[in-house]
Amino acid sequence: MDKWQPTADSPARNQATESLKFTMADVLAAPQQAKTDTGLRTLTLISTAHWVSHFHMLVLPMLLPFLKAQLGVSYIDLGFALTVFAVVSGLTQAPLGYVVDHLGARKILLLGLCLGGFALILLGLHLSYSWLIASATLLGIANSVYHPANYAILSAHMEDARMGRAFAVHTFAGFLGGAVAPAIVAALVTLVGGLGALIAAGAVGPVTAMLLVAFGVPDAGAKHRQASGGAQAEQQSVITPTLIMLTVFFTLLGLSSAGINNFGVVALMSGYGTSFSTANLALTAYLGAAAIGVLAGGHLADRTRRHGQLSAVCYAINAIIVIVIATVALPTVMLISALTAAGFLGGLIAPSRDMMVRNAAPTHAAGRAFGIVSTGFNFSGIASPLLFGWIMDRSLPHWVFGASAIFMILTVGIAFFTDRYSAEDDEETDLGLMQQ
């Protein structure tokens, strides 16, 4: 024999085979593990930015008593500042979605975090009514950045199989930012006063931007595709029937929840004989259950393609629950239980809602798509205080829940339509590909 060769049963052959197996496993697992680690880091960073957006949204409302005392203005004047925020956010969200897709989501997100933070810092340094209006304007522009930029980055970098859960965590982070804002602002006022609270709350924005840069938040949009060697995407219109229906869908979602969120406590106290503490407990249960529902909804969203039908079923049940609250004098325990169930179902559809937008967005147009449909929330944010305030001024507290139920019923119909239109858009896309 020329040279010794290991036989099939020799220890050397077995050792070589096992070594090859482990090496191949490492090669195959490394990219997957790296992708998972990158996705987790991306989700954490983007969710942190979403936390900041909801926190900044509530800083001015939480400081209204301080601002009224310092500026010597009426609550109507202060309310005008909040209206400016809502209107500016609504008008700039869709254009900024276009900017996100063409200049890159990372750059716009970092600018938004800094702009919102500096708006509050400047108000703390130069407190006046004119600066309050300017701050509300800048905050509105900054707020319109988050949905287009965040969802564009998540859509580009998260695994499709976990996209629903990623959207759920992102939404939950926003809920959490709003939930802790009152406590944080109150603590800041106690520690450093009202002006210090504005400056400290504002500083959260630039600090978070630096955190995102330090940990390498990824990019999305045209600049990202060009940098990674991708071809320039062909211009496509985002004004599709599905996205139009989804904008209406988002508006109705906002209207259906705004009445309970903003006027639920006063409605329960004036129309149901509920004490202040019980009414607040019921609203807390409603909001807390919504946050839990969002996380549960992420798992459902990853296990179905019929997101519109899932949303319709959940909101149909929700409408029945809210109609019962509006028409029946429930005992306290049952009232709190009913609101808890309503909150959970409302949160359950949030990830599916976002998946509907992602699925309807044209290729490389996630920023524009989410920017457009998110204006529905801005429309509802402008209209709902007027509508539900008018209802309470007419001493019709039960209609706070009754009107919410009507909007839920309309939402059910729109959800079914979005599924149908989405299917038609998919067929048109497939037909176009076949003809090429």
For every residue of 341-407, DSSP letters joined together read HHHHHHHHTHHHHHHHHHHHSPTT-HHHHHHHHHHHHHHHHHHHHHHHHHHHHTT-THHHHHHHHHH
- The answer to which of 99-103, 235-239, 245-249, 380-384 has the lowest mean pLDDT is 235-239
Q: Which domains does the chain have, with CATH numbers?
A: 38-217 (1.20.1250.20), 239-426 (1.20.1250.20)
pLDDT value of residue 422: 52
CB 363 within 8 A of CB 236: yes
- Cα(347)–Cα(350) distance, rounded to whole angstroms? 5
Exposure of 172 by Cβ count < 10 A (0-12 exposed, 13-18 middle, 19+ buried)?
A: buried
pLDDT in tens, 43-90: 999 999 999 999 999 899 889 889 999 999 888 888 888 888 988 988
pLDDT digits (tens, 9 = 90+) for 255-280: 988 888 878 888 888 888 888 888 88
pTM score of the predicted model: 0.76
What integer pLDDT is reported at residue 36 of this predicted model?
60
- Averaged pLDDT for residues 314-332: 92
Query: Which residues lie closer than 8 Å to 333 by C-beta, 6 or more apart?
Result: none
